[in-house]
Structure 1
Amino acid sequence: MKGVLLVNLGSPESPAPKDVKPYLDEFLMDKYVIDVPYLLRVLLVRGIILRKRPEESAHAYAKIWWEEGSPLVVLSERMQKKVQTLVNVPVELAMRYGSMTIEKGLQQLHDKGVTEVLLFPLYPQYAMASTLTILVKAEEIRKKKFPHITFTDVPAFYNKPDYIKNLADSIQKHLVGFEYDHLLFSYHGIPERHIRKTDVTKSHCKIDGSCCSAPSPAHDFCYRHQCYETTRQVVKLLGLPEDKYSLTFQSRLAGDKWLEPYTDIEIDKMPAKGIKNLAVVTPAFVSDCLETLEEIAMRAKEDFEKNGGENFLAIPCLNDDQKWCQTVSNWINEWAE
């Protein structure tokens, strides 16, 4: 019997520091997120970061928390429920971090008699700190707890035509009535070394301005290339001129060189360049979360207006959009046939 496990990032149990701290510890101690030797990771995370970050993050979470719970979890659950109505195989939802574990999701499928699982990371672009850590963790659990289950992994869908169409349609829908000067594609940032580590050729990814447009097998696992390709295809579908959009990366940590240009720095400069009406879309996420609702829709908006911007629009993620849910169900049905 076949079944599906949708996997998203995760969330603390509540916006209280006592719940945010263990969540951050699990997240930041992941060797695919902070990819340094274990003892150094312990020193950085538990000796430095977790001394202040839980209070700061708890404050941010409190600003976006819904009555039903974490927006990321609530929206992912809504999506899962809609998808389930459109397919004939069981669909469960899990999170890489937090209490909605991958093990629990696999157990739920196992209890329904599932032996073939479509493992579906809810990330359009491939990255070590998102897709890879899900695949590795799920395989560890499968070998240990569910050796009779087999996996089929859903690859990054950054360039699948139906996903691109869903994203372009969503952007267009939310731009109706908003006279924007510029559309910013803001993707979650990652350290540059992650790009080099996932380069299967070990030589192509130089991050020099040309490697992402030169054909290479490295592109199958290159987050930077995939962000640029998603943008290129959406822009083409929307018919946007080159001076009407740009691409940036958000949410960096101090100390390392991360992918540039940086979202916050670029947004701060825009009003002085004559961009008074800005729309921002965040295509690295399919569900709205802390990085979209607080970092972009609140903090970036505030900074934009402080620097002379007039109107700011944060375009929602695909979330449980019916067309997007239909696309996901189509992919599942194709696999399940």
Structure 2
Amino acid sequence: MSQTASPIPSAATPELSQRLLEVDNLGVSIHSDEGVFRPLNGVSFTIDRGQAIGIVGESGCGKTMTANALLRILPRSAEITSGKATLRRHHAPEAGLDLLQLPADGREMRAIRGRDIALIFQEPMSAFSPVHTISNQIGEAIRLHENLGRRATRDRVVELLDLVGIPQPERRADDYPFQFSGGMLQRAMIALALSANPSLLIADEPTTALDVTVQAQVLQLIKRLQREMNISLMLITHDLGVVAHMVDYVYVMYLGQVVEEGPVDAIFDQPHHPYTKALLKSIPSLTEQQQVLTPIRGTVPDSRHPPKGCPFHDRCEEVVGEVCSQQMPAHYDVGSKHRARCFKYTPVQVSAAAGRANGDADE
């Protein structure tokens, strides 16, 4: 009896109509005098409308490079070597648009930046021009996407500054960036990102230069605005503690690859990849007073000379065998919507582990 393959869902199905961005096998190379760097090696993830996802990992794992590749703001020496990044815009959700095929400096890509996808940069101190007022800079972004007059633009700037909690927004709009504190400048950066009502907000380490108290305020602000405005959020951070209360789904990156992904509760309660476990062990706990933090030995390898096999095997405490240093593991299902890229979860290893468990039970 022959079996008929199930049809591929069309873009009109409920699943795809809610899909905002789908990134598949994204690869990037950077050519330099020192060799060819490969910061991204097949990154894949999805974002639904209104969903908040977190992308976490150590510095050098490719988190920021992923965001820059999507917005096509890579260095001139960089090139996209593989992949697709399908964006489904509000006015045409049935027709996916591959961002990686658009000219980086073309009119369509410039229209997407800010209007469909907005970015909160790591360093607001360097993101704003020091010789133009806050009003001028946010107003320029508004005029780029909206046909508003000078007065309407000014009113919109004041409205945005008030929305993000800037005191006396009518007066502070005419201040220069150096007249704002770090926390206020980060809030102004959020206002700038929201100026064209984007569908996706990318927050790249949005609290890097802020003290702990202001960090919490900015993160709460981003979370509140994301929910109230029903926009998608892509939070990039090296701190797993930050994503715990900010996102619905987590992607753990290592050396330009996603090594584990799953719902935020599953990642924290039942981490499966040794790298994810190591990251969690390095987070201080408020409940365990005598907890000893365990650092991850070694450093992220040079992307010019990535290790053969699993990229984490030379730092891993749970090496399965020689296969870890010889072959790249595939993604294996380890739970509901939860996958890990580790040889521990191959059918052979799982079967062997079950056999050992049964043997121990018999004894």
User: Is TM (by shorter chain) over 0.5?
Assistant: no
The structure in which a higher percent of residues are strand is 2
Q: Work out which structure has the larger RCO, using CA pairs closer than 8 Å and 6 or more positions apart in sequence.
A: 1
The structure in which a higher percent of residues are helix is 1
**TM-score, normalising length: structure 2:** 0.26
